[in-house]
Structure 1
Amino acid sequence: MKAKKTFLLVMSFMLVVSILAGCIGNKSTEKNTATETKDEKKSLVVYSNSLSNGRGDWLKEKAAEAGFELELVEAGGGDLFNRLVSEKNNPLADVVFGLTQMDFESLKANDLLIPFKPTWMNEIPEGASEKDNFYHPLVEQRIIMLYNKDVYTKETAPKDWTDLIENEKFKGKYHVPGDLGGATNRAVVYGMLMRHVDKNGDLGISEEGWKDIKTFFNNGYKAPEGEDVNANLASGKVPISFTFSSGLPGIEKEFGFEAGVVSPPIGVPTIVEQVGIINKGKDQDTAAAEDFINWFGSAEVQGAWAEQFGSLPVNTKAVEKATDRMKQIGEITTVQELDYTFISEHIDDWVEKIELEIF
Structure 2
Amino acid sequence: MRKWTMAALLLILCLVVSACGGNNAGNANTGDSGAAAPAGTSAGTDSSSEPAKNEKLIVYTNANSDGRGEWLIEQAKSAGFDIEIVGAGGADLTNRLIAEKNNPIADVVYGLNNMLYENLKKEDVLAKFVPSWAGDVEQGLNDPEGYYHGLVKQAILLGYNPNEFTADTAPKDWTDLYKNDAFKGKYEAPTLLGQNTPRLVVAGILTRFQDPNGDLGISEEGWNEIQQLYDNGVNAVEGEDFYANLASGKTPLGALVSGTLEQKEEQYKVKAGIVSPEIGVPMVVEHAAIVNGTKKQATAERFVEWMGSAEVQGQFAAQFNAMPANTKAAEQANASVKELYSTLKPQELDWAFIAENMDQWAEKIELEIMQ
Classify the TM-score, shorter chain.
0.7 to 0.9
Structure 1's 35 and 210: CA in aligned 2 closer, same or farther, altered over 3 A?
Answer: closer
Distance in 2 (alpha carbons) for counterparts of 1:53 and 1:109:
31
Superposed, 1:210-221 pairs within 5 Å as 210-221=223-234
Correspondence for 1:94:
107
Letter in structure 2 aligned against 1:290: E
Contact 2:89 2:196 in 1 (8 A): no
Distance in 2 (alpha carbons) for counterparts of 1:345 and 1:298:
31
Distance in 2 (alpha carbons) for counterparts of 1:272 and 1:202:
28
Distance in 2 (alpha carbons) for counterparts of 1:201 and 1:39:
55
Residue 70 (str. 1) matches residue 83 (str. 2): yes
Deviation at 1:195, TM superposition (A): 0.7
Q: CA RMSD in A?
A: 3.4
Structure 1's 287 and 36: CA in aligned 2 closer, same or farther, altered over 3 A?
Answer: closer
Contact 1:118 1:293 in 2 (8 A): yes
Q: 1:247 aligns with which of 226, 236, 260?
A: 260
Distance in 1 (alpha carbons) for counterparts of 2:302 and 2:104:
20
Q: State the Cα deviation string for residues 60-110 of structure 1 (Å, max 9, x = none).
A: 333344343334433332332222212222223332111221111111111
Deviation at 1:188, TM superposition (A): 0.8
Instruction: Note the residue ranges of structure 1 that are not aligned, 5 or more in a row.
Output: none
Deviation >4 Å, runs of 4+: 29-37, 223-228
Residue 119 (str. 1) matches residue 124 (str. 2): no
Q: 1:312 aligns with which of 301, 305, 323?
A: 323
Structure 1's 188 and 35: CA in aligned 2 closer, same or farther, altered over 3 A?
Answer: closer
Structure 1's 198 and 306: CA in aligned 2 closer, same or farther, altered over 3 A?
Answer: same
Letter in structure 2 aligned against 1:94: D
Residue 158 (str. 1) matches residue 171 (str. 2): yes
Sequence identity, in percent? 48
Judge which range, 291-300 or 164-173, deviates more.
Answer: 164-173
Judge which range, 135-144 or 89-98, deviates more.
Answer: 89-98
Distance in 2 (alpha carbons) for counterparts of 1:266 and 1:173:
23
Structure 1's 348 and 318: CA in aligned 2 closer, same or farther, altered over 3 A?
Answer: same
Deviation at 1:324, TM superposition (A): 3.3
Distance in 2 (alpha carbons) for counterparts of 1:329 and 1:187:
20
Structure 1's 316 and 239: CA in aligned 2 closer, same or farther, altered over 3 A?
Answer: same
Contact 1:187 1:270 in 2 (8 A): no
Residue 345 (str. 1) matches residue 347 (str. 2): no
Superposed, 1:219-234 pairs within 5 Å as 219-223=232-236, 229-234=242-247
Contact 1:48 1:97 in 2 (8 A): yes
Distance in 2 (alpha carbons) for counterparts of 1:225 and 1:298:
34
The alignment covers a number of residue pairs equal to 356
SS class of match (2:152): strand
Distance in 1 (alpha carbons) for counterparts of 2:175 and 2:201:
12
Letter in structure 2 aligned against 1:244: V
**Length-normalised TM-score, structure 2:** 0.82
Distance in 2 (alpha carbons) for counterparts of 1:228 and 1:32:
53
SS class of match (1:68): coil
